[in-house]
Structure 1
């Protein structure tokens, strides 16, 4: 609102949400998908950015025959004409697609179903994996398999976490962990270190190829949510005292698990948190999905 009121032009303020059509080239790639052109005009000036503020958008959408809700995604047409993924999801209760943007332009309601042979539709992690894969946040271990029961490593989780929150890794890893190497997670680790998300395991080591435990994962997740201002504000009545194995939680993970349990991000299983157990790829996907799909 401050950005709009700061416009120098006098006259009416007009907010437009117009449904437009894809170009022939766009239809060849995406099919005949809904496109919305969002704009704010103050007098004669078009305001496209909001000085760090954000706008929540809901547009009507009815699932087409055979469509899965987790594969409905939002694209933004950037200044070069390419497509960028926008954080958003299908709201079944309202039959809308909801997303958040910091700028107005054209947005496409797309569809990108990604299936894996080892992720049955009836599995508890099916929607989570489908949701993340549709948005290129996660990928399979090969073209046909996700390997949901395989353990996820510390380096893999950092990449998943930063992708989930649209954090582009630093192009140059100026200050990194000594064991960051030169591989797919190298620049992601440097970015996580700079943001204070990852502090390592001592002696400037991160141990990226070690399987990550549940308490390590939740600690990294908590630090990320705090650093990004994404920690949910609404709390439940749940506390660590409600879990029989709360005494096994390491000191460094106490604050993180308490905060995530209170906010319903972590619910445990059979009255336990199992803080020292390694985390599977399916479990990691489910945790991220629970946050992004709200």
Structure 2
């Protein structure tokens, strides 16, 4: 008996069939996973948009609308032709308004040069009064007296006379000092000397001579304005008032004069300072000071003239 094939028995798949099935499954899986990776988009959305927006482009084809494929081609062409424009540079901030600079031009002022007139300062005024009529020519103090008289330093004692050989009083000498050193300021005060009346003509001159240090009273209340002055007192008064320096060797300066020891000891330093500064009475006896002899008006004129030379206020005698 021959065995006939069992109709219920399954036929085995051949190798070719298995390969075909594997390829089909692989293709389906590929399509499936690709679809999952895309954003959800209804099919034919592009075609429907084209149909709604532009009916003039509608063309019926096998699948209904050819614009689907045309739009895809257009997007592809547009994407390929797109040129990326570089990012625009940040716009500059708005310009701040700067007001115009107004320059001030300074016009130089041309000053007219001033004419400088040199001023001649004279320490003592020059008078126009004539020379004293009683000062003889070739008198030893003639030049001293005439120069001081022109400057108004000496008094006219009446009728144009000076009487140069007459003894000078303390009041008269104070008046000569006041005029000769009028540029030295002082605080004027009422004199406390009881022997000077308030209406005395030389009262202010005495006050000034005391304040400047030229003269002193014999006591706090006595000045003796009408008393003659010894010669040494004229010289030490000028040494004190002009603040002359005492030489280092007083004895050497005074040793040139035979009668230097006749003056008081307190007066020797100031006497040496006066002689060292050129304040000396030059008469016939050149080696004698005659310190205790009463001074004359000519003696006072000569010493005051030499003091003004020392101060640079008058030219020395040639």
User: TM class by shorter-chain length?
Assistant: 0.5 to 0.7
Structure number with greater Rg is: 2
Q: Which of the pair is proportionally richer in strand?
A: 1
3-state SS of the aligned residue for 1:128?
Answer: helix
Q: Distance in 2 between matches of 1:174 and 1:136?
A: 25
Instruction: Between 278-287 and 264-273, report the one with greater CA deviation.
Output: 264-273
Residue aligning to 1:137: 153
Which residue number in structure 2 is paired with residue 215 of structure 1?
A: 232
Whole-angstrom CA distance in 2 between matches of 1:239 and 1:261 = 8
After TM superposition, give the deviation of residue 205 of structure 1 in Å. Answer: 1.1
1:253 to 2:267 alignment: yes
> For the residues of structure 2 that align with 1:209 and 1:220, how far apart are their CA atoms?
17
1:115-134 mapped onto 2 (5 Å cutoff) = 115-134=131-150
Unaligned runs of 5+ in 2: 1-110, 309-313
Pairs within 5 Å for 1:57-206: 86-87=122-123, 112=128, 114-167=130-183, 173-181=189-197, 182-206=199-223
Is the partner of 1:160 in helix, strand or coil?
Answer: helix
Aligned-partner SS, 1:284: helix
Cα separation, partners in 2 of 1:114 and 1:200, compared to 1, 3 Å: same
Change (3 A) 1:209 1:235: same
CA shift at 1:240, angstroms? 0.6
> Whole-Å Cα distance in 2 between the matches of residues 146 and 191 of structure 1?
24
The alignment of Structure 1 onto Structure 2 pairs a total of residues equal to: 196
Give me the TM-score of the superposition, normalised by structure 2.
0.53
Equivalent position of 1:69 in the other structure: none
Change (3 A) 1:170 1:239: closer
Give 1:273 deviation, angstroms: 0.5
CA deviation digits over 1:9-37, x for unaligned, max 9? xxx9x99643xxxxxxxxxxxxxxxxx5x
Q: Distance in 2 between matches of 1:202 and 1:17?
A: 53
Q: Tell me the distance in 2 between the aligned counterparts of 1:138 and 1:286.
A: 12
- List aligned pairs for 1:242-281, cutoff 5 A: 242-266=256-280, 269-281=285-297
Residue 282 (1) aligns with residue 302 (2) = no
Aligned-pair CA distance for 1:193: 2.4
Answer whether contact 1:171 1:187 (CA < 8 A) is retained. Answer: no
SS at match of 1:180: coil
Q: Give the Cα separation in 2 of the matches to 1:235 and 1:130.
A: 36
Shift of 1:147: 0.4
What do you get for the CA RMSD once the two structures are aligned?
A: 3.5
> Secondary structure of 1:114's partner?
coil
Q: Out of 202-211 and 275-284, give the one that drifted further.
A: 202-211
Q: Give the structure with the larger helix fraction.
A: 2
- State how far apart, in whole Å, the 2-side matches of 1:195 and 1:177 are: 16
Whether the 8 Å CA contact 2:127–2:151 is kept in 1: the answer is no
CA distance in 2, matches of 1:200, 1:185: 15
Contact preservation (8 Å) 2:235, 2:279: no
- Retained in 2: the 8 A contact 1:176–1:190? no
TM-score (norm 1): 0.57
Distance 1:236 1:117 in 2: 43
What SS does structure 2 have at the residue aligned with 1:239?
helix
Q: Gapped runs of 5+ residues in structure 1?
A: 1-11, 19-35, 39-56, 58-73, 75-85, 89-108
Deviations 1:40-73 (A, max 9, x none): xxxxxxxxxxxxxxxxx6xxxxxxxxxxxxxxxx
